[in-house]
Structure 1
Amino acid sequence: MARARKLFAVIRHPTHKGGLRADIVEIARRMSASGLSHGRSGNVSARWGDGMLITPSGAAYETLEPDDIVYVDADGTPRGGKPSSEWRFHQAAYQARPDASAIVHCHSRCATALACARRPIPAFHYMVAVAGGTDIPVAAYATFGTEELAAHAAEALSARKACLLANHGQIAAASDLDAALELAGEVENLAAQYLEVLKLGEVHLLDDAQMAEVLAKFETYGKPD
């Protein structure tokens, strides 16, 4: 529990230091500091016009600067540097989810463990609905950086705000950068809880009607009256 509180304290710390590139850098550093992605793994992007801004390939987050953030236009042409190798699935995810303006991809420990076992996160807890449905699915495996992986990710995200990537990690898409990072943290927390439940044996799942009620409540949860 102490580790979970520390993780969410880092994730939820506010960031608005001027400029979308600076915000992406801040989110990437918070992603790394929270333990959601080890070393140089993971990437962060934000929709910008018809294209997107994304972290560069192989960047060390502690040395990342706003000018390092790469613009990728609508046809996939990078401008101002070499984008993350995963830019294709970021682009595909924005096409699949017009409501999303930010994406966080990370290799968080527990979510990645489930992804490597190719096990989705079912409705063992009502908070699974935070991803927009009755489970958090696993996108089919393909080599990183490929159009095939982008297609698999887009398919999984077409009906969810987050998914696992088989033998890879997780993706979280949201309305802004803070929300995307928070969602990635929630997916990791749910993955950790689910792994603990699996150790106990039988898993009691909520049924479709119960999850439908939760999903309906989530439509107004946290919003002003």
Structure 2
Amino acid sequence: MTEANRQSRLDLIRAARTMAARGLAAGTSGNVSLRVEEGVLITPSAVDYEALTPEMIPLLRADGSHEGRFRPSSEWRFHLDIYLSRPEVGGVVHHHAPHCTALAMARREIPPCHYMITRFGGGTVRCADYALFGTVDLSHAVLRALVGRTACLIANHGGLAVGHDVFAALGAATELEVLAQQYLLSLQAGGPVLLSDQEIHGAIEQFATAYRPNTGG
């Protein structure tokens, strides 16, 4: 194991533990992955995040095979397919956070209820069609829901977000759960007033300027 590969595994473990610490995943639920030169590192199936060590992290190859003693997460397929179809993605976080999962159980997308929805690429966060976990059908459903987006809900399952690296994906997954919570609260207040297509377009343009990387220059 090279030093760079070991550091990538440590980053993956830190992201997974942070996901759990933020209340986005309970027990061994959810899964996290990141792209490396050799393939995809992903959290193993049914192992507590606090117990993880670098040596326990499986490496997925492009053909779906893996290296390592521990089997990869049962959701390895949609992780791998996202990387194969989205070259800009460097990290994927899938969680069963309460508010995202509540909406997913109702098979409801998040509509244009807040300008921050444009953070995920458009005026909605779609809900992927239901399919059995760990299957090709679920992977196809997730890829469809992610077209033009960096996050989606997964029917009767949970939420998912991608980013240029694993910590960007974790940030997006965290913000997705906050947005889901706010939307559910607004429904209790009578329902949100939705933004128009023009307002969403303006927010997308403003978001690209206001939330670009801040280097202090």
Q: Distance in 2 between matches of 1:95 and 1:215?
A: 26
Which residue matches 1:108?
97
What residue number does 2:133 align with?
Answer: 144
Q: 2:15 aligns with which of 27, 30, 42?
A: 27
Provide the rounded CA distance (Å) in 2 between the counterparts of 1:131 and 1:150: 19
Measure how far apart 1:116 and its partner are.
0.4
Deviations 1:39-95 (A, max 9, x none): 110000001236211000111011111111110101001111310000000011123
1:186 aligns with 2:189: no
The whole-number CA distance in structure 2 between the counterparts of 1:76 and 1:64 is 22
1:75: which partner in 2?
Answer: 63
Question: Is 1:53 matched with 2:41?
Answer: yes
1:121 CA drift (Å): 0.5
Counterpart in 1 of 2:196?
Answer: 207
Correspondence 1:222 to 2:189 = no
Task: List structure 1 runs of 4+ shifted beyond 2 angstroms.
Answer: 222-225
Measured against aligned partners, the alpha-carbon deviations of 1:15-62 in whole angstroms (never above 9, x if no partner) come to: xxx710000000000101110011110000001236211000111011
The alpha carbon displacement at 1:96 in A equals 3.1
Q: CA RMSD in A?
A: 1.2
TM-score, length of structure 1 as denominator length: 0.89
Question: Post-superposition shift, 1:203?
Answer: 2.1
Work out the number of aligned pairs and report it: 208
Which amino acid in structure 1 is aligned with residue 9 of structure 2?
R
User: Residues 96 and 158 of structure 1 are in contact (CA less than 8 Å); yes or no, is this contact kept in structure 2?
Assistant: no
Provide the rounded CA distance (Å) in 2 between the counterparts of 1:110 and 1:75. Answer: 34
Instruction: Note if contact 1:129-1:211 (Cα within 8 Å) is conserved in structure 2.
Output: yes
1:146-185 aligned within 5 A: 146-185=135-174
CA–CA distance in 2 between the matches of 1:215 and 1:25?
Answer: 33
| Kept after mapping to 2: 8 A contact 1:97/1:158 | no
CA distance in 2, matches of 1:219, 1:97: 20
Report sequence identity in percent.
46
- Pick which of 89-98 and 55-64 moved more: 89-98
Where structure 2 has 5 or more consecutive residues not aligned to the other structure, the ranges are 1-5
* Contact 1:88–1:145, Cα closer than 8 Å, also in 2: yes
The answer to whether the aligner puts 1:42 opposite 2:27 as a matched pair is no
**What's the TM-score once normalised by structure 2's chain length?**
0.92
